[in-house]
């Protein structure tokens, strides 16, 4: 059935959907966001909402599902946790002046790794956008916490090291090159994970990524960020920046730095070891009775996230370990712990 066989409103929906084939399209109609066709079927299953029908296409009823506009945040949060991305399509025209369907356009694309709305985030867990790539014999990984602007990258010498880092970071969204040769190296645990995005390979071009990072940080090179000669790091970091800017429709000027880190400072744990140690996830997939849960007596959500970050790559750098111990010793010796907790509790996230 051709697009012109549909009603003007459905023609508008199909045109907008064609621009966002990989996202669930929340199409605003009055006080509801409506979904149609396969989007409706998927949303009905994932969100446990009623699947109905509206009109026909090719003689068959058009599947439809909807959610109230005022309660959308709860549904969006659930979809984000399931690794789904959503395009929010709002009415931007004046119905009184519209001869056909009210003008609509996508005003926001919400992806699992680019959430910034407080209501959609879990304040006790980091929400990370991660990109991985390979350049010659090296593997690159970068991650961005969009809500805080924390932006880090590393270059690794083996696939096992790369996979261990992905397992440690537990990304909400993972960007991989849409390249068969690279994907063939990845295990099914990566390829089938929620939030996986196969991103066009040309975005990972090192030269383009270098220019993008230099333009963003307004520098002559990337020496100050420790990755000027690390092509794999540059590629993954440049892709992260491009993707986040595209999804958020923002230059992300608040991201003021890029930190290059080395995994040599920490103990690298494979997925099986990490699972058996139950550092922050137990064998059932929950968080109760894990090392993090037992130790977490932090005063703020920020502290809880930092504790998990510190526990997840166990340190083997003696200097950093001693610095942390010295800090604790100083606080306890001066009986500042209770006062510090009271002060921290007043700090917003």
Domain-located, residue 256:
yes
Number of domains the chain contains: 3
Mean pLDDT of 269-297: 87
Last residue within a domain, chosen from 265, 286, 317: 265
What is the tens place of the pLDDT at every residue in 17-54?
A: 999 999 999 999 999 999 999 999 999 999 999 999 98
Mean pLDDT of 267-282: 85
pLDDT level of residue 280 (50, 70, 90 thresholds): confident
pLDDT score for 301: 83
pLDDT score for 19: 95
Last residue within a domain, chosen from 245, 265, 285: 265
What CATH number has the domain bearing residue 309?
1.10.1420.10
* 16 and 31 part of one domain: yes
Domain-located, residue 190:
yes
* 24 and 101 part of one domain: yes
pLDDT score for 264: 84
Domain-located, residue 76:
yes
Give the percent of the chain with pLDDT over 90.
64
Domain-located, residue 120:
no
Give the percent of the chain with pLDDT over 70.
98
What CATH number has the domain bearing residue 79?
3.40.1170.10
* 159 and 232 part of one domain: yes
* 153 and 58 part of one domain: no
Mean pLDDT of 227-247: 97
Domain-located, residue 121:
no
* 259 and 138 part of one domain: yes
pLDDT score for 4: 56
* 288 and 191 part of one domain: no
Domain-located, residue 116:
no
153 pLDDT above the threshold of 90: yes
336 pLDDT above the threshold of 60: yes
Higher pLDDT, 140 or 30: 140
pLDDT score for 59: 78
* 209 and 258 part of one domain: yes
* 157 and 285 part of one domain: no
* 140 and 246 part of one domain: yes
* 88 and 144 part of one domain: no
What is the tens place of the pLDDT at every residue in 182-221?
A: 989 999 989 999 999 999 999 999 999 999 999 999 999 9
- The Cα 137–Cα 303 span in angstroms is 37
Mean pLDDT of 258-265: 91
* 257 and 277 part of one domain: no
Last residue within a domain, chosen from 208, 243, 265: 265
Domain-located, residue 118:
no
pLDDT level of residue 132 (50, 70, 90 thresholds): very high
pLDDT score for 340: 87
Mean pLDDT of 219-243: 97
Structural domain boundaries, residue 177: 129-265
* 279 and 318 part of one domain: yes
pLDDT score for 1: 44
Domain-located, residue 205:
yes
Mean pLDDT of 79-104: 89
What CATH number has the domain bearing residue 161?
3.30.420.110
| Average pLDDT score, the chain | 91
């Amino acid at each position: 059935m051709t697009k012109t066989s549909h009603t003007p409103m459905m023609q508008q929906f199909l045109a907008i959907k064609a621009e966002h084939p990989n996202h669930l399209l929340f199409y605003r109609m009055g006080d509801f966001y409506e979904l149609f066709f396969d989007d409706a079927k998927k949303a009905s299953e994932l969100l446990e909402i009623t699947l109905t029908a509206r009109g026909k296409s090719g003689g068959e009823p058009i599947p439809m599902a909807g959610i109230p506009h005022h309660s959308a945040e709860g549904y969006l949060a659930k979809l984000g946790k399931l690794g789904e991305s959503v395009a929010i399509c709002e009415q931007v025209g004046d119905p009184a002046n519209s001869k056909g369907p009210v003008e609509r356009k996508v005003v926001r694309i919400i992806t699992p790794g680019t959430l910034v709305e407080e209501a959609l985030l879990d304040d006790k867990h980091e929400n990370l956008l991660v990109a991985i790539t390979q350049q010659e014999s090296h593997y690159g990984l970068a991650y961005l916490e969009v809500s805080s602007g924390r932006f880090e990258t590393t270059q690794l010498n083996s696939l096992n090291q790369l996979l261990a880092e992905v397992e440690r970071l537990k990304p909400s969204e993972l960007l991989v090159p849409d390249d068969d040769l690279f994907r063939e190296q990845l295990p099914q645990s990566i390829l089938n994970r929620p939030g996986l995005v196969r991103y066009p390979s040309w975005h990972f071009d090192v030269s383009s990524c270098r220019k993008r990072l230099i333009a963003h940080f307004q520098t002559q090179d990337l020496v100050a960020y420790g990755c000027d000669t690390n092509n794999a790091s540059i590629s993954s970091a440049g892709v992260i920046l491009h993707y986040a800017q595209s999804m958020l429709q923002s230059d992300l000027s608040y991201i003021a730095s890029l930190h290059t880190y080395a995994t040599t400072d920490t103990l690298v744990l494979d997925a099986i070891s990490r699972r058996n140690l139950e550092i922050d996830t137990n064998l059932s997939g929950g968080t109760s009775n894990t090392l993090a849960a037992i130790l977490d007596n932090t005063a703020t959500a920020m502290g809880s996230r930092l504790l998990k970050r510190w526990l997840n790559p166990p340190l083997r750098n003696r200097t950093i370990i001693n610095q942390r111990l010295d800090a604790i010793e100083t606080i306890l010796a001066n009986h500042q712990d209770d006062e510090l907790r009271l002060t921290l509790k007043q700090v917003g996230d």
